[in-house]
A and B are shown apart, each in its own frame.
Chain A
């Protein structure tokens, strides 16, 4: 049996994937992408968690024996920024697409074929 935290993270990833695969509206697809990224970040954080320990800031009596792993938190910081960057660019491209095709329905945006 896997833990509830892993389960939640995987569920978010799969929900995001489902949205990307089935939705027709471009913005919904991008929302799906963001949900997926959130799930991944949660998964990374929960991999680094150690039961019963506190945040890795070594003041006020916290010692290396009472804190969780700092690396996944640093990784997630990076991953979040990268997610923001991707989302910003994706929205920009969506703006350009809307300007050209006057729709965000991916079934109707079909310039490239073959």
Chain B
């Protein structure tokens, strides 16, 4: 029965291949079909989530019936179950949003790419094999390239081109890393790599890890390889921007952390942690400072999103159990808040034609519900108590203090301060300045989605314990590598 979790992979694929056959039924039908498929996916993900969290054991999907390391396995543990559910839910919301937001033809191709982007991120989080991870990363990346350029404007094509060139360099680095690991171990299974990690020559391990980190840094939007991100966020269709921020980045950073933590007991680990800390810190600083001088709200949010990812990377770089907990919590909170923010801003952009600052003047009177959603999101990101991100930033602070890294404390506080400046500027514009134009009738479905997310933010903010419990289990799945190795039923007899 547990093997039916492979439907998480099979369903989006099958539905994407089905689209060419049903496209004659018309544009709207395809978008409703998209919503239906993502809803079913959400159902499967919820079932998997329930199974994993009630039984406390991960689901190991074995493809082809060959036990790992001979075959490929999917490892749906506490972390993967949680984030696969997030991916499915966000995709469903965005499929609903697409009905309103997507007007550019060809819709049928959009639907296929949308489903495959979701599939790629799901696979990246679920897989237990490093080369399979590469394949899913490329599925994610290539559908993301196509979706970035989907609007076919000059800006969109330029953003897509930047993304493709950087992504190409990244995937080449990643493959060289795989070649080094495979050449010294003879296996590609993550659990077996973790088991044999101490046997690798330290020079090789360090080089391979650095290459893998750089390769994944493109998807995870860490500093030297994230030049594509603001452009792509700005130029891609609004639902796709939400997906980038809510889970494509998260999948990238998860894959990076999973691989790095496999080497927890080797000499190479400390060096890589320092690399992560440096990259993360630079990402935060550059992201926040660039966000300050944006006049395009979507681009501003993009920089803010990049900075948050930097904070997550810093959390993983500290690498104590508390810091990992906090970082996973921040991943979850950031996914919720940024879904809300990009959804609301995208809705404004669909209504008024562009997400420029001008259009946000007096938004409080024209689209009160949307303005309210943006306000809650902004307050939450800045880290005001009683909203969810306060807790994850606070826990991150505590974790940094515990190991005496005051530099990180200063970084978090400074970042929050800069965020306060640019977000409160936006809030001021929305509520205290007069804009032209009438009050606008807001869409019911989108209103419900936004209110749901607002409720979630406030509930986690007021009563964090329940979600915190889930997060702790998820992060233990990441941090406790020995347990991870034990959970994978490796075939006896295939070991050196």
Contacts and interface: CB of A to CB of B under 8 A. Distances in A.
Contact of A112 (B152, B155, B171): B155
Interface in B120-175: 131, 135, 138, 142, 145-146, 149, 152-155, 157-161, 164-165, 167-169, 171-172, 175
A67 B164 CA distance: 37
B161 A86 contact: no
Interface of B: 131, 135, 138, 142, 145-146, 149, 152-155, 157-161, 164-165, 167-169, 171-172, 175-176, 178-179, 182-183, 186, 188, 230-231, 234-235, 290, 293-294, 299
A114 B293 contact: yes
A104 to B, nearest CB: 10
B111 to A, nearest CB: 18
A93 B164 contact: yes
A101 B155 CA distance: 10
Given A78-B135, A114-B293, A93 B157 contact: yes
A100 B188 contact: no
Contacts of B146: 89
Contact of B172 (A26, A40, A112): A40
Given A13-B176, A47-B179, A114-B294, 6 more contacts: A40-B175, A44-B182, A90-B168, A92-B149, A100-B154, A112-B159
A68 interface: no
Nearest to B169: A20
Nearest to B234: A112
A41 to B, nearest CB: 8
B152 A96 contact: yes
Interface of A: 13, 16-17, 20, 26, 29-30, 33, 36-37, 39-40, 43-44, 47-48, 69, 71-72, 75, 78-79, 82, 85-86, 89-90, 92-94, 96-97, 100-101, 109, 111-112, 114
Nearest to B159: A112
A24 B308 CA distance: 33
Interface centre among B149, B175, B188, B294 (most CB of A within 10 A): B175
A89 B168 contact: no
A110 B171 CA distance: 25
A40 B175 CA distance: 7
Contact of A44 (B154, B157, B175): B175
Contacts of A13: 172, 176
Contact of A47 (B149, B171, B182, B231): B182
A86 B168 contact: yes
A112 B262 CA distance: 39
Contacts of B188: 71
Nearest to A34: B168
A2 to B, nearest CB: 12
A26 B142 contact: no
Given A40-B175, A44-B179, A94 B161 contact: yes
Contacts of A111: 154-155, 158
B154 A97 contact: yes
A66 B416 CA distance: 62
A79 B175 contact: yes
A86 to B, nearest CB: 6
Nearest to A36: B172
Given A37-B168, A90-B164, A112 B235 contact: yes
Contacts of B135: 78, 82
A89 B164 contact: yes
B169 A36 contact: yes
A15 to B, nearest CB: 12
Nearest to B135: A78
7 contacts: A30-B165, A36-B168, A36-B169, A75-B178, A96-B157, A97-B158, A112-B230
A94 B162 CA distance: 11
A89 B155 contact: no
A89 B145 contact: yes
Nearest to B163: A93
